[in-house]
Chains A and B, each alone.
Chain A
């Protein structure tokens, strides 16, 4: 799955991430047609975006335009491609884990939901990365707690989330995978997919726990 992602899917996924990030940026206040994200010759991303309000004063100081003669409305960030690649790598990991479960409607649904969620997560991760890079250039946040939180979230965003998200999402979205990891496996071959409960299974549990609560057939947790 990683090879498929690296050789075939990486560029389309990065393009999708770039286009959706650009659309999200354009939704920002003061963003216009000049807001865009382009890929440069070396593969790095050039992000042209409206200058956030708290940074206007810092930018004026930086460019020596305290008299108000120069107005800085946009800034361009050049960011290496590597981290954006990392933000898409949770997808092949997620697909690999989900496809290890028996193929069926649950698997297909988990694949679709998980891929969509990971797409959103990649977008959020990109936004955090941009915010952290801005912070390195100009102080977006000044309080110590704010700086720590931004640094810590950047650390989680780049070093933990790309690897952890796939596993947590797969187990969260796929009931059969969850039960294979967290519950004792049945003695025979696993046939959990859409299997109706055996006669007496529910009764056995109700009897053992001493509760009369009725459980619905095939309900996913």
Chain B
């Protein structure tokens, strides 16, 4: 706990103590590079593709649960009603956002137990949201194909980034509050 307290400045020093921020930023960028570099490795790429296939299977299962008619084959989800299909590519499976989330949480000065729980909880939220995003895009593509690209590449990705930023803000505040609570005690 001591180590943590020495790293986290008080609100009064928020504008002046730049050292932990610099450390965070450098660590964050290095971890991002390492994470994105790891995704280029063929072995990891195969695992990620399997994960995408799993997400498509779950999506298809959810749609069927609510009465929809779809077929799934590996990373492709196809409507049996109108033939519209989408493929879950690497950028669509939430892995990029997960890398950013992991880099931010690991770079933040917090106890390892907090980091581990934050990492796990954040991943659950990110992938649940990504699943919703994938399903929404699947239906938007069928109903309003003109809006598909805008929603897919720009709006939905931006939303994912904003949610991740908000999640990080919430998590960081929780960590800081518990640290200051311990200080007060």
Which residue of chain B has its CB nearest to the CB of A148?
A: B40
B158 touches A163 (CB 8 A): yes
Which label, helix, strand, loop or mixed, suits the secondary structure of the A interface? helix
CA–CA, A28 and B157, complex, Å: 35
B37 touches A152 (CB 8 A): yes
B173 touches A185 (CB 8 A): yes
Write out the residue numbers on chain B whose beta carbons fall within 8 Å of the beta carbon of A219: 15-16
B69 in contact (CB, < 8 A):
no
Interchain nearest-CB distance for A220 vs B (Å): 6
Write out the residue numbers on chain A whose beta carbons fall within 8 Å of the beta carbon of B24: 182
A164 touches B12 (CB 8 A): no
B86 in contact (CB, < 8 A):
no
Interface size on A, residues (CB 8 A): 45
Assuming A168-B28, A175-B15, what are 15 further A-B pairs, CB within 8 angstroms? A2-B154, A2-B158, A82-B153, A86-B153, A155-B40, A159-B90, A160-B36, A160-B96, A163-B158, A168-B29, A183-B11, A184-B11, A184-B180, A204-B10, A205-B13
B129 in contact (CB, < 8 A):
no
Interface size on B, residues (CB 8 A): 43
A167 touches B96 (CB 8 A): no
**How would residues 44 to 86 of chain A score, 1 for a CB under 8 Å from any chain B CB and 0 otherwise?**
0000000000000000000000000000000000000010001
Which residue of chain A has its CB nearest to the CB of B24?
A: A182
Q: Among the listed B17, B25, B40, which residue makes an inter-chain contact with A172, where contact means beta carbons less than 8 Å apart? A: B25
Q: Can you give 14 contacting A-B residue pairs, CB < 8 Å?
A: A82-B153, A97-B165, A156-B36, A160-B96, A167-B161, A180-B169, A181-B168, A181-B172, A183-B11, A183-B14, A184-B180, A192-B15, A221-B15, A221-B16
Interface residues of A (CB under 8 A from B): 2, 6, 82, 86, 89, 92-93, 96-97, 148, 151-152, 155-156, 159-160, 163-164, 166-168, 172, 175, 178-186, 192, 197, 201-202, 204-205, 208, 215-216, 218-221
Which residue of chain A has its CB nearest to the CB of B17?
A: A221
CA–CA, A151 and B41, complex, Å: 12
A184 touches B15 (CB 8 A): no
B140 in contact (CB, < 8 A):
no
CA–CA, A204 and B37, complex, Å: 44
Q: Among the listed B18, B91, B96, which residue makes an inter-chain contact with A221, where contact means beta carbons less than 8 Å apart? A: B18
**How would residues 50 to 86 of chain B score, 1 for a CB under 8 Å from any chain A CB and 0 otherwise?**
0000000000000000000000000000000000000
